[in-house]
Amino acid sequence: MVWAAGISDRGWTPDTGISGMPILLKDNIETADMPTTAGSLALVDNAPGRDAPLVTRLREAGAVILGKTNLSEWANIRSNNSISGWSAVGGQTLNPYDPTRTPCGSSSGSAAAVSIGLAPAAIGTETDGSITCPASVNGVVGFKPTVGLVSRTHIVPISHSQDTAGPIAATVEDAAIVLTAIAGSDPLDPATAEADARKVDYRAALDANSLNGARLGVMRFLIANYSAETQAEFERALTNLRAAGAEIVEITEAPENYRQIGGWEFTVLLTELKHDLNLYLASTDPDQVRTRTLAEVIAFNAAEPRETVLFGQELFERAEATGGLDDPAYVEARARSFQAAGPDGIDRMMADNRLVALIAPTTSRAWTNDREDEDNMQGSASRLAAVAGYPHLTVPMGFDRGMPVGISFMGGKWDDARILSLGYAFELRTRERRPPALAGLQPSS
């Protein structure tokens, strides 16, 4: 954790809305009063004295910015062997339920901080799973909004096609309060052109009865590899959903080209990383940030042993070798990945089955930090919503051998309010969140 103040969240309640709410920010989001490092020593002095637009919105709404949280360095894009929750600046974030297990990433510190009660909410960012995975394994709520609902300006980027900021919170209500404050158009981020017209009061839109009559599609093709305990918790969640009036529809076949999405996505992320990070670095203060391009960051890391002590930077090197946004391979990969995940994926499953949302376990229980054992990640629900840019919510659904597991709700573009409301109704009915034993504070109610 990187702290700028020691302000407590005592005295704040959801009844006051966001006014007075203590909030933490992932350390890839700029603030005028603190450095923004993305966990890298190359950015340790990066303090250009500006707030990201989402931070401006939080401050203007009355939120109290406590400080920055640690993250997986460069949001887990530097190496295939990167360690979730580790950065050269902040060290290793621990999972508060079991410090020998992963906090997932890349919004590791944001999720762990909310889990132990340091703040009722934090802001994370996601390209693919970086809000929902850490929220799930740390036993809290995480919401990845529709891409374009929240500004990305002055946030250290990976991909303009998939990046978004979003809330990690103790409850769905808290997440909705935060999203209401940060949503909106930003002239510097063209993706947000529709945000002002699309945003609503997300807290006011929460409906405890929203599951009654809702048709929910179970993505069975994502579930087979989970442990018996996680599968049992999911079946119990389905029982609760049915009891709340939901109609459960089984979807056994994956969308066409589903298994090819990952390869296309990888091409997109590496190509956009080089382009987008170079633009970001060029916008920083040259007296504070000497690495002005991805190539210079690679050279910096090669000369700095503290950066490569645990893993290398082969993804950075592959990104540097990409051909730019006009490269036909990139253009085709983006078109194919979006088509497969969005129109032919989430949209088609929902339309063909007359659904209001899709559901699945978010991911497995937290796996160990030991690369040599066989306790590994067993699956993830994040890819379709991440590549399509659609909303994805995770809510605690139970425990697998003492470790929290979450249930995912996802829908179509701009379905943010409905997805939050469905998760809210599930949360009220089940109340599965139990803070870790070390936490001295209970979740807000």
Q: What is the CATH number of domain 2-7+18-430?
A: 3.90.1300.10
Measure the CA–CA gap between 147 and 41, rounded to whole angstroms: 29
- pLDDT of 126 over the 70 cut: yes
Domain residue ranges in the chain? 2-7+18-430
Q: Which of 72, 84, 110, 130 is catalytic?
A: 130
End-to-end CA gap in the chain: 25
Q: What b/e sequence results for 55-64 when a residue is b if at least 16 CB atoms lie within 10 Å of its CB, and e otherwise? A: bbbbbebebb
Measure the CA–CA gap between 280 and 273, rounded to whole angstroms: 10
Tell me the residue type at 389.
G
What's the pLDDT at 69?
98
- Confirm whether 144 is a catalytic residue: no
What's the pLDDT at 370?
75
Average pLDDT over every residue of 102-109: 98
E strand or H helix at 408, and its extent? strand 403-410
What's the pLDDT at 15?
87
- Altogether, the residues listed in the chain come to a count of 445
Q: What is the pTM of this model?
A: 0.96
Q: What percent of the chain has pLDDT over 90?
A: 92
Measure the CA–CA gap between 372 and 91, rounded to whole angstroms: 21
Q: Quick check: 20 and 66 in contact, CB under 8 A? A: no
* pLDDT, tens only, 313-322: 999 999 999 9
* pLDDT, tens only, 35-94: 999 999 999 999 999 999 999 999 999 999 999 999 999 999 999 999 999 999 999 999
* pLDDT, tens only, 233-285: 999 999 999 999 999 999 999 999 999 999 999 999 999 999 999 999 999 99
- Confirm whether 408 is a catalytic residue: no
- Strand ordering across the sheet containing 141-144: 2-3, 64-69, 22-26, 121-126, 164-169, 141-144, 392-400, 403-410, 357-361, 215-219, 247-251
Q: Which of 106, 185, 382, 408 is catalytic?
A: 106
What's the pLDDT at 146?
99
- pLDDT of 10 over the 80 cut: no
Q: Which of 26, 144, 199, 274 is catalytic?
A: 26
Name the least confident of 209-218, 255-264, 374-383.
374-383
- Confirm whether 82 is a catalytic residue: no
Q: Quick check: 70 and 2 in contact, CB under 8 A? A: yes
